[in-house]
Chains A and B, each alone.
Chain A
Amino acid sequence: GAVVSQHPSWVICKSGTSVKIECRSLDFQATTMFWYRQFPKQSLMLMATSNEGSKATYEQGVEKDKFLINHASLTLSTLTVTSAHPEDSSFYICSADLRDRGDTQYFGPGTRLTVL
């Protein structure tokens, strides 16, 4: 149990375009999902916390107009990187928390974004 999927697993786009990444909890309902960014050889940095049916809460320094988050259902959250630039190239990972297990977070497999 506690499987989280992401789609796509990788994406290459041109500078200035927008990219949408999906995060799904497959076998449980997740009231809260999280979005992280990981640069090469670095740790995971929390970008935002997403609650179903409400606006996401962004960490300091993360532009909410650039990284649009929608959490329309208990099993799906989306991250849209708008007007992507090469510096947005990174590994984006989502997680969902399982409330019955002390809010333990289970992570998706990640999405590699490369902006040309």
Chain B
Amino acid sequence: GQQLNQSPQSMFIQEGEDVSMNCTSSSIFNTWLWYKQDPGEGPVLLIALYKAGELTSNGRLTAQFGITRKDSFLNISASIPSDVGIYFCAGQYGNKLVFGAGTILRVKS
């Protein structure tokens, strides 16, 4: 089946630092999405990428859809304490999603 490799698995950074995480796959996806999940809640959509090479920003978040359609990265600039949580990438094929294993982000204030 299709699998996404998401890295890093976890990060512990200083408030104000920039954060970067990425996902790679052996399969091509039509859409890449980045979600954030807080404990005990459902994932919240952060950024959706629909075209290869697309670079999209949402406030302090920036994500790119790799040109090969097999990878994507998410950057968070100037992290703040409320950025803590689990970040998931997801690749879409047809109308289905396959998720990465998640990146746990912890921020030291």
Contacts and interface: CB of A to CB of B under 8 A. Distances in A.
B48 A101 contact: yes
Contacts, number: 52
Interface string A58-81: 000000000000000000000000
Q: How large is the interface on B (under 10, 10 to 19, 20 to 34, 35 or more residues)?
A: 20 to 34
Given A102-B48, A104-B48, A43 B42 contact: no
A106 interface: yes
B59 interface: no
Contact of A110 (B41, B45, B92, B102): B41
Interface of A is mostly: strand
Contacts of A93: 42-43
B99 A103 contact: no
B97 interface: yes
Interface of A: 4, 6, 32, 34, 42-46, 49, 91, 93, 95, 97, 101-110, 112
